[in-house]
Amino acid sequence: MRGYVQHVDLVPMLFELLKINVEKVCLDGVSLLKSLETGNTVREFSYLEESYTERKYAIVKDGYKLIMAPKREDALCRYCSIVHGDIKELYDLRRDPEEQNNIIYEEYDIAKELEKELSLFHKQLIRSRLSRKIKRLKHKLSV
């Protein structure tokens, strides 16, 4: 199997294997079974978010990783009030797998494209989560 997968894809796959209906369950992931059978990719990129010590989002695509905080204060570590890394970071994972050399200024066009894709995905994710919450509330009110 080629392409990107995420840990959130494991539960939908297990539900599918166990023949559990996922329609009424709120899951962000996608089952990997068809992809395992066909070899086709499930995702074009991986999405990551961290909000415990800092509030940052990231996208990994085509060998690059873009990490960004929505605002400067979101990038501050809650333990030491220092920004670890930067507010926006771009790494070429093929050349720099340990993410030591931030190339955000050298590869500005790549960073802008990834930022646009990350922003779009993040908005869709928020809409999806809100939609599922509304469905759950409607279901509770109808019972």
Q: What is the pTM of this model?
A: 0.78
Residues 87 and 49 in one domain: yes
**pLDDT tens profile 27-61:** 777 877 788 888 777 788 888 888 888 989 999 99
Whether residues 55 and 31 share a domain: the answer is no
- Examine the domain organization and report whether 56 and 98 are in the same domain: yes
* Number of domain units in the chain: 2
Asked if 60 and 24 sit in the same domain, the reply is: no
Which parts of the chain register pLDDT below 70? 1, 24, 143
Indicate whether 29 and 62 sit together in one domain: no
Domain that holds residue 12: 1-43
Q: Are 58 and 67 in contact (CB under 8 A)?
A: yes
Q: Quick one: pLDDT at residue 103?
A: 98
| Residues 27 and 67 reside in one and the same domain | no
- The answer on 55 and 38 residing in a single domain is no
Q: Provide the pLDDT for residue 8.
A: 82
Three-class SS of the chain: CCCECCHHHHHHHHHHHCCCCCCCCCCCCCCCHHHHHHCCCCECCEEEEECCCCCEEEEEECCEEEEECCCHHHHECCCCCCECCCCEEEEECCCCCCCCCCCCCCCHHHHHHHHHHHHHHHHHHHHHHHHHHHHHHHHHHHC
What is the pLDDT at residue 1? 64
